[in-house]
Amino acid sequence: NADAAMYHAKKTGRNNFQFYSVDMNAQASLRLAMETALRRAVEQEEFFIHLQPQVELETGKMNGAEVLLRWNSSQWGLVSPAEFIPILEDTGMIEHVGEWVLTQACNSFLNVKDKLADDFKLAVNLSGRQFKGGNLASRIRYILAETGMPTKNLELEITETMLMEDPELATLTLSELSDMGISLAIDDFGTGYSSLSYLKQFPLNVLKIDSSFIRDVTSDKDDAAIVNAILAMSESLGLMVVAEGVETIEQLNYLKQHTCQGAQGYLFSKPVSEEQFYELAQKDTLI
Ligand code: C2E
Ligand code: MG
Ligand code: MG
Ligand code: MG
């Protein structure tokens, strides 16, 4: 009857609410615990970097590498960047950690430099927070000078969102970095809200096609159409292209046939330690 139904609804409703709220509390306290642990992670030496090769498809040679931050927490073990990078960003810690990553990256590059091509690009991810700091270019200039890193070998990866949030600040900052001789790449291209023609107003060098378009590029007509359009337009705009998340020979063959210049993905190598990277750097080809 109606009363019983009402009672049932109230009861489950309340139970649902309680379950939900307990779950939210657990999530919030885990986040708080991670935040606390992250505040000490640099001094506790829990951070390290991995390097993932980028490959020139025509030759199979490694012509660059992306630097990826790793956190080995004493409490939780290896934590995914998808989990801890947002905490570093929300709290502003990413400004300090980002500079730590760049310093480590430069030192790793210098350790392996002898095995790398002259125009090798070491790609470091930037967060919007670092971008908004205002004095990004001078802080980077300082780190490059301090470590002895050649400016021409550095590439910085930024996202479409960072450009769109404040296009005027982005234009100013990117021009400064570009004038220093640093290469600029758009990361995860296609997932944000910008267009290639809009991107033309920024001094960009590289466009990284997001892995979500590469995954089914050989079987999904829509993904193939998007990838083909990005390749055609970036060629006419003079941008170099790197496909992200290449895992199969089929994807590789598709990209080669459609004259994509570069790629990165597990097919060539996972992100690896500096020692493993040193070994990879001595190979003539990664294909
Ligand atoms: P991202 O910049 O787009 O980096 C590429 C991600 O794809 C990396 O994930 C890499 O490990 C993964 N990946 C590469 N090849 C393959 C593949 O073939 N298959 C699959 N499934 N994945 C592949 P990771 O290391 O988990 O990093 C995730 C994101 O965290 C990065 O995405 C980047 O946005 C952010 N991140 C990582 N390190 C840093 C950093 O030092 N600073 C900042 N600001 N963000 C970082
Ligand atoms: Mg990246
Ligand atoms: Mg990416
Ligand atoms: Mg990504």
Distance CA 128, CA 126 (A): 7
Q: How far is the CA of 211 from the centre of ligand 4 (A)?
A: 7
Kindly report the CA angle at 144 between 173 and 156, in degrees rounded to 5?
A: 45
What pTM value is reported for the model? Answer: 0.92
Q: Which atom of ligand 1 is nearest to the CA of 80?
A: 26
What ranges make up the beta strands (E) of 204-283? 206-209, 240-243, 262-263
pLDDT of 7 reads 43
Ligand 1 atom 13 nearest Cα: 245
Distance CA 164, CA 135 (A): 19
CB atoms within 10 A of CB 119: 10
Q: What is the pLDDT along the chain (287 residues), one digit of tens a residue?
A: 444 444 444 455 445 555 556 677 888 899 999 999 999 999 999 999 999 999 999 999 999 999 999 999 999 999 999 999 999 999 999 999 999 999 999 999 999 999 999 999 999 999 999 988 779 999 999 999 999 999 999 999 999 988 888 889 999 999 999 999 999 999 999 888 777 777 888 999 999 999 999 999 999 999 999 999 999 989 988 999 999 999 999 999 999 999 999 999 999 999 999 999 999 999 999 99
Residue of 78, 85, 246, 266 to test ligand 1 pocket, by largest number of atoms within 8 Å of CB:
85
